[in-house]
Chain A
């Protein structure tokens, strides 16, 4: 079935350390999106990756889409306390009629110790 696995579930880092979360799908994705949910908030769209091997950067955040379009990662360099939250990947699957439906991973909750 359509499933996106995300690891780790939790990550505690010291401020200034790097952080990475990984997503995997057993089937090829048409696209992958990343969202951030602050504690008590709602998910907020960060970025979309569509092309095989694509890499995009947003300041300290680097997003990658695997060559086979089955995996993705988000890397944060030199974390800050403002990075605290849960990061979700969300995959769009081929053959779903391009409805725009996304299947979300379980999320990685990042805690940053000042």
Chain B
């Protein structure tokens, strides 16, 4: 257990639907990052939150949105889903403000759009 919890582990949904992926960061970590990993692809940066505020944005589609709540958990909302959105979505947290290097990743949510 890395300390970063992602739910659900698996999600199967139909095109056009909307889903919410949830992430609880490691205790005390203020930064949360979302990445998308498609088959044979690297990790594509989507968005970062720090202590409730959006900090950095990557190539995140307009159909996707995210937020970080006061308890620091984060949610990634994917709407109007397309087949191409099928991927593994990872959340990671970090504690750069405490001088700790590196991200801690969750186990990911595997999204299948049918």
Contacts and interface: CB of A to CB of B under 8 A. Distances in A.
Contacts of A90: 43
A88 B42 contact: yes
Interface residues of A, number: 24
Interface residues of B, number: 26
A90 B107 CA distance: 19
Interface string B77-101: 0000000000000101010100001
Interface of B: 2, 31, 33, 35, 41-45, 48, 50, 55-56, 58, 90, 92, 94, 96, 101-108
Contacts of B56: 96-97, 99, 101
Contact of B105 (A6, A43, A47, A103): A43
A33 B31 contact: no
A106 B92 CA distance: 18
Given A42-B2, A102-B45, A33 B102 contact: yes
Instruction: Say whether chain B's binding surface is mostly helix, strand, loop, or mixed.
Output: strand
A85 interface: no
Nearest to B96: A100
A107 B48 contact: no
Contact of A88 (B43, B94, B107): B43
Contact of A103 (B45, B55, B90): B45
Interface string A86-110: 0010100000111111111111000
Interface of A: 6, 33, 35, 41-45, 47-48, 88, 90, 96-107
A97 B53 CA distance: 14
Contacts of B31: 100
Contact of B103 (A45, A105, A106): A45
B101 A101 contact: no
B55 to A, nearest CB: 5
B42 A100 contact: no
